[in-house]
Structure 1
């Protein structure tokens, strides 16, 4: 039987096509950036979670600075990731979401702060040492097998040490002045050491619409784990939470302003080890999924 224009059958078909377009084309592209000693292979499960729950989503896991090359200087990595992500931004006039794991969360924040024309909607920082790192962990032993955390500053806080990524966010609370003076990445990014680009970087960062911070007490790598929520140790190794941090009070890079807008969301999950954040479906559904629309 021939279907005539305007018939109920044709209208139903058109409606179904329209709804299908809404369901598959209504999601912004998601860009995923891996952590230290990782690469795209480790983030396949996270990518599958996204496309399963939000069919049709364009997911890009950036294939750069993988595995041992993740130890390359962070500003160099930022340049490489910016070039790769910029091409994705250009094809997404409605914006993209940035989902970044561990060290990748610092790379992504630096990218946001130094890119004036970015169109990132939501920045999700998944177990990332946003306020720095200070702990005897398995990851530290991979880089400095014979060092304990109290001695790492002697390696990290010099010109050569600052060419190794982990040193660029090593934040020794017992050697604050050396950190401020010698660190060429985190100290600048957080505004711990003032510089001429602070105002511009702050404006760039505030272009995002939402900041999502995810972490938990059983992480085992991020130390203190509260660094994933911008908390960090004082000189007595007591954890000072985000809103009591100097960079928050002075709003050096826009965190306080973003919080005042109501656009900072934190998610805490216990029982999750560092290497399993991106493959834990409960974490995905409770902390990530709702922001990827």
Structure 2
């Protein structure tokens, strides 16, 4: 006999990040099933995993995520989306881009996601992951069609010294931030989630600045000073619903002490800190 609790608990979709594949989420899937008996939990794969996570653009990767979710009969009545790093960014993309024929994302949980982009290398220090972007020492190269098409990380590279080039290149992040061609559906969809939870850490080591996990970004013309999300124009003008969700108390920010690669290998994080936001009775 299935309990009423299980019936009320939405299924869970996990999504891996850059240079990874669906197997990274195996521990999270297994712990979730142990903690919530009878729940449906699945890890989506983006294309062929590692190579496609690196060498394809995020417009294409988002379409693959849509296919994974739309084609799963267990998800048709809605689901909770949990993403790590670039996977969290893509989950945000699904939330904002959802059309009426696609399953609803009931909750969105971002774990160390670059919600406001990434930049490093002038005053700020870079992890070796970002060496390829550091080599592109001009916005003209970093935002070129070839790089944007063939290197996923470039799609949310937000150069604070070249804010106009970031938008004019129609980067994927400028698209999600509704700074290219305003789409009211992006805001409507973002605000359709009952809850958005953002995990981030000063010890992250990959997301730069780490406040990007909380929609913070470097101030224009500087990669030393960080603007809180509330000081950004996308918040002030509520371009995609960030201000609305925050003021309604539906945007939760959780600061942790984890390094970027520790989250989905930590039993404590998965079974205690993450599960409380996955369980809908919590």
Q: Secondary structure at the match of 1:247?
A: helix
Correspondence list, 1:210-289, <5 A: 210-234=195-219, 235-236=221-222, 237-270=224-257, 272-289=258-275
Correspondence list, 1:133-172, <5 A: 133-135=118-120, 136-141=126-131, 144=132, 148=134, 151=137, 153-163=139-149, 164-172=151-159
Residue of structure 2 equivalent to 1:56: 38
Aligned partners of 2:5 and 2:249: how far apart in 1?
28
Return the offset for 1:279: 2.0
Return the offset for 1:248: 0.7
8 Å CA contact 1:35–1:104 kept in 2: the answer is yes
Residue of structure 2 equivalent to 1:108: 91
Gaps of 5+ in 1: 1-16
Residue of structure 2 equivalent to 1:201: 186
Q: Secondary structure at the match of 2:249?
A: coil
Return the offset for 1:199: 0.8
- Alignment coverage as a number of residue pairs: 267
Return the offset for 1:148: 2.7
Residue of structure 2 equivalent to 1:99: 82
Q: Taking structure 1 as reference, are residues 149 and 210 closer, same or farther at Cα in structure 2, changes over 3 Å only?
A: farther
CA-to-partner distance for each residue in 1:204-236, whole Å, 9 max, x for gaps?
222111100001011100000110010111122
TM-score, normalised via structure 1 length = 0.85
Gaps of 5+ in 2: 121-125
Aligned partners of 1:119 and 1:23: how far apart in 2?
20
Please tell me whether Structure 1 or Structure 2 has the larger radius of gyration of its CA atoms: 1
Q: Taking structure 1 as reference, are residues 93 and 62 closer, same or farther at Cα in structure 2, changes over 3 Å only?
A: closer
After the TM superposition, which of the residue ranges 57-66 and 210-219 deviates more from structure 2? 57-66
Return the offset for 1:37: 0.5
Aligned partners of 1:125 and 1:223: how far apart in 2?
16
The CA RMSD measured in Å over matched residues stands at 1.9
CA-to-partner distance for each residue in 1:117-160, whole Å, 9 max, x for gaps?
2411110011010000112222223xx2xx63771634321111
Q: Stretches of 4+ moved more than 3 A in 1?
A: 22-26, 90-94
Q: Taking structure 1 as reference, are residues 150 and 218 closer, same or farther at Cα in structure 2, changes over 3 Å only?
A: farther
Residue of structure 2 equivalent to 1:10: none
Aligned partners of 2:192 and 2:30: how far apart in 1?
28
CA-to-partner distance for each residue in 1:51-87, whole Å, 9 max, x for gaps?
1211211111012231121021111111111011113
TM-score, normalised via structure 2 length = 0.88
Q: Secondary structure at the match of 2:71?
A: helix
